[in-house]
Amino acid sequence: MSGHGHGRLLQYPKVPIGFAGHGLGPLVFLNHELAAVENEMNAPKKDLDWGNLGFSYIETELRFSARWRDGVWSEGELVASAEMPVHEGSTVLHYAQSCFEGLKAQTAVNGDILLFRPDLNCARMGRTTQRLLMPQVPEALFMRGIQETVRANAAWVPPYGSGASLYIRPFLVGVGENLGLRPAPEFEFRVFVSPVGPYYKGGGLSLIDLAVVDLDRAAPKGLGAFKAGANYAGGLMATQMAKELGAQEALYLDPAEHRFLEEAGSANIVLKMKDGTIVTPESESILPSVTRRSVMTLAADVLGMKTVARPVEFLKEVADIEEFAACGTAAVISPVGRVRSEDTWHRFYGNGEAIGPVTQQLYDLLTAIQKGEREDPYGWTHAV
């Protein structure tokens, strides 16, 4: 693996997982089908303007689909259609019984296609499914769905150095005939991919602004710590309100007292305090970010900084914050220049007009590992 320490995804066996008794039988993978997937891995890249992609949906050829029924998962298969016919009584339509994950595939400097910590996405989806009374997607099925979808759409993985990546969206929804408020009788697990550019306009590491709005992201003891679809529908208005105030995204305070930092609409928060400490807000309502977890590890291990997860009372501590950043799979690490709260714009590093050096270092360290440019002593990256 060219000395970069990448782990390799297990080649999960294509043994039948189920649908026993439904007459559907196990999916049989023929030699010509396997050969077709291998050909996709070697296919020339699509003719796209890779350096100018936005963060929007681009349909690719294939996606992965598996169904759960009567307590049993199907084998799963690659399908061509991006459409999903669902029963009108499906719980995903009425009761928001849905969850999803997000991760990326990158082309490494040596040409490998790398995934970043997919095991943590699988574990997080498992926690969400438990909270929403949905069947857990087996790790073997989750990983195989991701791997087969990426391999089948390898021509859509942006080339090394383009600044773009292949966004991967695994999701699970409740489907099937239903009316009352109860878990769905069937569930569909899907994985689709789309080549994307930076989440925020500006590309790469560019400054953004956040605004605290008078809405809560989640209730205490609610769904805040879980990647449930309902959380995001509820946040659409907050994002709109923040944009009307001149920011790119909303910043949420705790729902109980509206004093403590929680997270941005699509990212966790990481702070570099003036005393040199790296702090991330702690709350039972915050969604645990894979990117934030990785950034905190790099700050401690590589930069030698003290890292702390604790409650952060925003207005009381705002003067002690030197660098403010939002981080997540989509955003990677975005330096925050200004935060609006109670009609006041609070400015951070360089009067809100410059990228802080620690934020820059963390971005460079993280993206270098993700692209195979730097040794990966943690085994975070996995070649497809």
Return the closest-CA partner of residue 16 out of 118, 138, 122. Answer: 138
DSSP 33-96: HHHHHHHHHTSPPP---GGG--SS----S-EEEEEEETTEE---EEES-------TT-HHHHS-
- The residues near 179 (Cβ < 8 Å, ≥ 6 apart) are 89
Q: Let me know: does 197 contact 55? Beta carbons within 8 Å.
A: yes
β-strand 268-273 against 261-264: which pairing, if any? unpaired
338, 345 Cβ separation under 8 angstroms: yes
Given the DSSP bridges, would you call strands 63-69 and 72-73 parallel, antiparallel or unpaired? Answer: antiparallel
CA–CA–CA angle 49, 53, 59 (5° rounding): 90
243 within 8 A of 251, measured Cβ to Cβ: no
| Positions marked active-site | 227
User: Which pair of tokens denotes residue 192?
Assistant: 């689709």
